[in-house]
Structure 1
Amino acid sequence: MKAAVRPGSGGCRISSAADFSAWIAERSAMDLAEPFTFVVGTDGALRLAPRRSEHVACAGGDVVLSAGEIGFTREADRWAVSEVSNQSTGYCPDVTSWSAVARALDDAELGRPSGFTNEVVFRRCPDCQEHNIVREDDFVCVFCDSDLPATWNMDPTA
């Protein structure tokens, strides 16, 4: 997927309230009706793209601290996050990546929840190497029935 990323195809970098205000002003009511694709780059900045964008493209093919989907709502005098998840099958981020998301949202002066509103637990099967989404705390590979590790193991360099 990374090979298909074209230069300049990354998401919009949001590192301040002014950046977010300029970006959100260009969105339609229909855009705001569904979540957007997001990543937090290694620079700590939030990047946003339309929902149907691939996370790897949103990140410009780079490594990220977190990725997922995010929705916004207007609250009194500022924008706030209405929903946010780590749902990204391109990066499969751990739920512990929330701290990077929180910092990026705070930098953009966006109201936010205290954690992901929808947490997705990803694990790679040590036997067949397939990626799994763990549901209902059932740490068993859906492909080969092997036990999945209790700790996050999606980054092959970790």
Structure 2
Amino acid sequence: MTTRGRSYRYVGPEELRDAVRPGGAGFRVRSGADVEDWVGRQPADALVEPFTYVVDTDGLLRLAPRRSEHVACAGGAPVLAAGEIGFVRGAGRWVVGEVSNLSTGYCPDLACWAAVAEALDRAGVERPPGFTYEVVFRRCTGCRERAIVREGDFVCVFCGAELPSTWNLDAAPPGP
């Protein structure tokens, strides 16, 4: 049963959302066998970097190649989580070696870890206890840009304004 958290709508460039093809969403993972199948079909050089992932609103992990846009992996839909995920061989199967919430298209809050953990647990895929790399996103209240908080410095790199202490990417983006 999915513990439904906040869903995240796409907040990135509209031209990327407009390029999403119907039926082009990422590979749905329902089991460890699905991970074995999908990761096993990837070229060896693709395994050195993490893949793109989302957790869809059904609570299922979706995977796509590294250079894929998260909005394409999600088929343009809202998600429960998004980021990058890397797999390593462990005990004869693929296990999660690294996972983050790095998605500048969905800019998910760190709280989305619960959805990631649940999707991986449901599929029977071994995982770390939390994100191995955390990204803190905010929308600047001054210039309205999406911003990444670096080293705990809540200052917008675009305009110098102070960034909010709480996640606010559900706030409207800049107007036309």
Q: Normalising by structure 2, what TM-score?
A: 0.85
Moved more, 139-148 or 112-121: 139-148
Work out the CA distance in 1 between the residues paired with 2:21 and 2:101: 24
Work out the CA distance in 1 between the residues paired with 2:62 and 2:157: 32
Are 1:88 and 2:127 an aligned pair? no
Identify the residue that residue 4 of structure 2 maps to in structure 1.
none
**Contact 2:138–2:146, Cα closer than 8 Å, also in 1:** yes
Identify the residue that residue 134 of structure 2 maps to in structure 1.
119
Could you give the per-residue CA deviations for residues 39-63 of structure 1, whole angstroms, max 9, x where no partner exists? 0001100000000000000000000
Identify the residue that residue 71 of structure 2 maps to in structure 1.
56
Work out the CA distance in 2 between the residues paired with 1:27 and 1:108: 19
Could you give the per-residue CA deviations for residues 46-104 of structure 1, whole angstroms, max 9, x where no partner exists? 00000000000000000001111110011113321011111100000111100000001
Could you give the per-residue CA deviations for residues 2-43 of structure 1, whole angstroms, max 9, x where no partner exists? 111011211101122232222122122222121100000011
Aligned length: 157
**Contact 1:48–1:58, Cα closer than 8 Å, also in 2:** yes
**Contact 1:17–1:107, Cα closer than 8 Å, also in 2:** no
What are structure 2's unaligned runs of at least 5 residues?
Answer: 1-15
Identify the residue that residue 97 of structure 1 maps to in structure 2.
112
Using CA pairs under 8 Å that are at least 6 residues apart, name the structure with larger relative contact order, 1 or 2.
2
Identify the residue that residue 7 of structure 1 maps to in structure 2.
22
Alignment of 1:1-158 (within 5 A): 1-156=16-171
Work out the CA distance in 2 between the residues paired with 1:150 and 1:26: 42
RMSD: 1.2
Q: Normalising by structure 1, what TM-score?
A: 0.95
What are structure 1's unaligned runs of at least 5 residues?
Answer: none
Deviation, 1:151, is 0.6
Identity level (%):
64
Work out the CA distance in 2 between the residues paired with 1:21 and 1:140: 42
Work out the CA distance in 1 between the residues paired with 2:92 and 2:45: 21
Deviation, 1:125, is 0.6
